[in-house]
């Protein structure tokens, strides 16, 4: 249902935080990158409405806006960048044109981003989300946090454990001299398993602390194995359905179905 001038006037009297509204004067122009950031921030807060052509001061007068004259083009460009739909409309208010962006909420336990950066509103602007804010949202989706341990290493440790049990049985079932020989043999088995089953701790190709390394190396579509070769094992991983996020300090890389989907570079 189209937004009416009466609805605009009702929003003008509403509490900005409670109703998740963002008012911008934007008489002639509103930067597209800022619009993207506000859309992401609004989605991360549960959805809301961005209104251009209304001053964000007491009584919120309608001043009119000439921004984004081609609404269809704007809608397509927003969806292309954001990867989620935003409804756009222009309302002919008696005091001037108001451009309205209806931003949907993010799914539970997931975060919206732009260019690998996650935003939330802060005062009259937007800022990158803090790790505490991100973790709170992750917990909505019952993310499981764990230290990274590759499947290859887990399998190798299982094999070594079985060898240890075998060695214990040998100790119980044989004489000391027989056990001595068996013990030496078992030790060689353990060395062999470690050598072949456990991957060597290869030095990462890039230092993940350096922001430039992210800008030069990380892009959409990289696999987990390629990222691990670049930056080494993540300090922490969280998982939810088809998403998996690797944390390197306050930086992070999110995979969707095993491939890089978004990332947050170190400061």
> Which CATH number fits the domain that encloses residue 110?
3.30.950.30
Same domain, 171 and 254: no
Q: Is the pLDDT of residue 252 over 90?
A: no
Rounded Cα distance between 40 and 114, Å, is 7
Assigned token pair, 150: 């590759």
Question: Residue 89 contacts by C-beta under 8 Å, 6 or more apart in sequence?
Answer: 2, 3, 71, 99, 100, 102
Rounded Cα distance between 16 and 28, Å, is 23
Q: How many domains does the chain have?
A: 3
Same domain, 158 and 182: yes
Same domain, 192 and 207: no
Rounded Cα distance between 230 and 223, Å, is 11
Q: Are strands 48-52 and 21-24 parallel, antiparallel or unpaired?
A: parallel
Rounded Cα distance between 67 and 95, Å, is 16
Assigned token pair, 70: 């081609």
Considering the entire predicted model, what is its pTM? 0.56
Mean pLDDT of 45-49: 92
Assess if residue 174 is contained within a domain: yes
Domain range for 173 is: 151-197
- For the chain, what percent of residues have pLDDT higher than 90? 42
Same domain, 95 and 36: yes
Same domain, 120 and 10: yes
- For residues 36, 138, 208, 195, the Cα torsion angle rounded to the nearest 10 degrees is -140
Rounded Cα distance between 223 and 226, Å, is 5
Same domain, 62 and 117: yes
Phi/psi for 14 (5° steps) reads: -80, 160
Assess if residue 134 is contained within a domain: no
Average pLDDT along the chain: 82
Mean pLDDT of 159-169: 70
Assigned token pair, 186: 């078992």
Assess if residue 17 is contained within a domain: yes
Q: Is the pLDDT of residue 105 over 50?
A: yes
Rounded Cα distance between 56 and 192, Å, is 70
Rounded Cα distance between 88 and 116, Å, is 24
């Amino acid at each position: 249902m189209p937004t009416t001038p009466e609805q605009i006037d009702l929003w003008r009297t509403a509490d900005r935080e409670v109703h998740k509204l963002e008012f911008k004067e934007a008489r002639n122009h509103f930067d597209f990158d800022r619009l993207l950031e506000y859309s992401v921030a609004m989605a991360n807060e549960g959805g809301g409405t961005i209104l251009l052509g209304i001053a964000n001061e007491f009584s919120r007068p309608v001043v009119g806006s000439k921004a984004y004259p081609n609404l269809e083009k704007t809608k397509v460009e927003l969806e292309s960048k954001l990867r989620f739909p935003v409804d756009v409309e222009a309302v002919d208010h008696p005091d001037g044109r108001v451009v309205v962006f209806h931003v949907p909420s993010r799914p539970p336990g997931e975060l919206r981003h732009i260019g690998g950066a996650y935003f939330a509103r802060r005062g009259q602007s937007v800022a990158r989300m803090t790790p505490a804010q991100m973790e709170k949202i992750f917990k909505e989706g019952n993310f499981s946090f764990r230290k990274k341990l590759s499947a290859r290493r887990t399998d190798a440790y299982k094999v070594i454990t079985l060898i240890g049990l075998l060695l214990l049985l040998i100790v119980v079932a044989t004489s000391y001299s027989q056990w001595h020989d068996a013990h030496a043999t078992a030790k060689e088995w353990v060395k062999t398993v470690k050598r072949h089953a456990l991957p060597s701790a290869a030095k990462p190709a890039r230092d993940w602390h350096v922001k430039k390394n992210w800008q030069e190396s990380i892009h959409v579509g990289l696999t987990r194995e390629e990222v691990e070769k670049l930056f080494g094992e993540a300090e922490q991983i969280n998982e939810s359905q088809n998403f998996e996020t690797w944390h390197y300090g306050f930086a992070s890389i999110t995979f969707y179905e095993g491939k890089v989907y978004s990332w947050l570079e170190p400061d």
